[in-house]
Amino acid sequence: MGADPYFPANGDPRYRVHRYELALDYRPGPNRLSGTARLNAIAGRAPLTEFQLNLADFRVGRVRVDGRVPHYTHRGGRLRIRPAKPVRAGAAFTIEVTWAGNPEPVRSPWGGLGWEELEDGALVASQPVGAPSWYPCNDRPADKASYQISITTPSAYSVVAGGRLLARTARASTTTWVYEQAAPTSSYLVGLSVGKYQTVLLGDPGLGGVPQAGHIPGGLLTEFSRDFARQPAMMDLFEELFGPYPFGEYAVVVTEEDLDVPVEAQGLSLFGANHVDGARGSERLIAHELAHQWFGNSVTIADWRHIWLNEGFAKYAEWLWSERSGGRTAQALAGVAHRKLAALPQDLRLSDPGRKLMFDDRLYERGGLVLHAVRCALGDDAFFRMLRGWASVHRGGTVTTAGFCTHAARFTAEPLDELFASWLHGTALPPLPSPAAAMPARPPYPPRRADSA
């Protein structure tokens, strides 16, 4: 697989990383970050005489390849490395990098991406190319690796990262937090937040559910408790519809500042204070970010052309939650989306939207409509078997639009070629999909498992 067509300067397909070990020290006052990274990697089919990592404009202090000093240059967000001795094709090798500086977001057509300094703390929101704003990485979604992140901060601050908290060690005025994310993770999905939070548990993992925690400013605790009260029921529903939750735990962070949109990371979602109102005003977004744990994070796109496989699936999960929690049906919400799209320009090709339109609102809505069209064509039983199979077969892996079309076709004797040609590869808006027969009525989803009553 070659370079990403939308971001050819990011990532290097000549090798892959299977593990990152990051040891960081962050001081919020001066916004000062220093770190050491150890990457365990494997060369591709050809010997590696040189390769690159992506890293923003930090001061690089040390680089080693298999313990030896290479020749390297660091310009324009690229750390180009020429090993003292070429790495054999298919061979395992290690890369060590130390760096320091003041992290700031990477510039992009969508504004700053990656490490963002807050009034009192920091957060990471890297989609799609912000990861190099804080650590050296092979920044392409298809290169998935496990991570261990150790970060030392002043003890007044909490650190939240995606994965399992292995240790929290206080020394004098600082505390070191160590997180392990064992599941394969794309660089843009490595989430991190540094702030002054209170931690609350959601649901009851003692009953066999997924451990869920919220990390929030103390002043928002009352509103948060209402707004996120139904997240455990969402988890139950999505496990029923999509299959087992793909990671060991799930955390949500609410910052003291507003965010334009929530941001998903692996095992972690970040919300702004504006998404907490005490009236469940952002509940659809809570469902959207949770659904990304299956679609986008566990099942990850091979390159950014296929972004609808992330956002369309998460959008449809919003509609499924509404339908099963006593709100409007997916058919009604599909009608709303269809009317909205009908009034907008018809120039977006879902299967290859181009970099300019990859986060256009129309991609989300049309992506949801694709899933609804497939559901109408397959019927509920086959459709949800198809979704569970998609999440199961590709767990921890990468996918493409063509692969989804092939997968969905296995669940019906009727050809889906025309449906996919019009919805995915055409630009004109097809008619609103509707089921051949009425979708079966389902009771509102229970607030928790029956055994928790």
Per-residue pLDDT tens for 78-130?
Answer: 999 999 999 999 999 999 999 999 999 999 989 999 999 999 999 999 999 99
Catalytic sites, residue numbers: 289, 364
- Please give the pLDDT value at position 445: 54
* Of residues 129, 106, 126, 124, the one with CA closest to residue 7: 129
Same domain? For 206 and 139 the reply is no
Q: Could you report the per-residue pLDDT of 165-212, keeping only the tens digit for each? A: 999 999 999 999 999 999 999 999 999 999 999 999 998 766 678 999
Using only C-alpha atoms, what is the Rg of the chain?
22
Q: For residue 95, what are the domain limits?
A: 1-113+123-193
141 upstream amide cis, omega within 30 of 0: no
The 3 state secondary structure assigned to 17-70 is EEEEEEEEEEECCCCEEEEEEEEEEEECCCCECCEEEECCCCEEEEEEECCECC
Number of domains in the chain: 3
Q: What is the mean pLDDT of residues 157-165?
A: 97
Which of the four pLDDT bands, split at 50, 70 and 90, describes residue 439? Answer: low
Residue 338 annotated in ligand binding: no
pLDDT at 2: 77
Pairing of strands 263-265, 268-271: antiparallel
Bridge-based pairing state of the strands 192-195 and 198-202: unpaired
* Global pTM value: 0.95
User: How many CB atoms are located within 10 Å of the residue 280 CB?
Assistant: 15
Residue 449: per-residue pLDDT: 40
The verdict on residue 267 lying in a domain is: yes
Dihedral of CA 309/315/316/320: which sign?
positive
3-state DSSP call for residue 75?
strand
State yes or no: pLDDT of 444 exceeds 80. Answer: no
Lookup: tokens for 116? 């963002």
Interval 242-257: pLDDT, tens: 999 999 999 999 999 9
DSSP 233-281: HHHHHHHHHH-S-SSS-EEEEE-SS--SS-EEETTEEEE-GGG--SS-T
pLDDT (tens digit per residue) in 374-390: 999 999 999 999 999 99
Q: What is the pLDDT of residue 452?
A: 34
Same domain, 153 and 213: no
448 pLDDT tier (thresholds 50, 70, 90): very low
The per-residue pLDDT for 435 is: 86
**Of 293, 328, 349, which closes a domain?**
293
In a domain? residue 444? no
Q: What is the CATH number of the domain that holds 26?
A: 2.60.40.1730
What is the spatial distance between Cα 402 and Cα 383, in angstroms, rounded to a whole number? 18
Q: Is the pLDDT reported for residue 450 higher than 60?
A: no
Judgement on whether residues 280 and 364 belong to the same structural domain of the protein: no
Domain-terminating residue out of 293, 316, 335: 293
Mean predicted confidence (pLDDT) in 392-415: 97
Q: 288 labelled as ligand-binding? A: yes
375 with 420, same domain? yes
Q: What percent of the chain has pLDDT over 90?
A: 92
- Would you call 102 helix, strand, or coil by DSSP? coil
Residue 203's pLDDT is 80
Q: Any idea what DSSP says for residue 443?
A: P
Task: Characterise 8 by phi-psi region: left (phi > 0), alpha (psi -120 to 50), beta (else).
Answer: alpha
Which residue, among 155, 154, 135, has the nearest Cα to 145 in the 3D structure?
135
Query: What average pLDDT does the structure give for the chain?
Result: 94
Q: Please give the Cα distance from 62 to 104 (Å, whole number).
A: 21
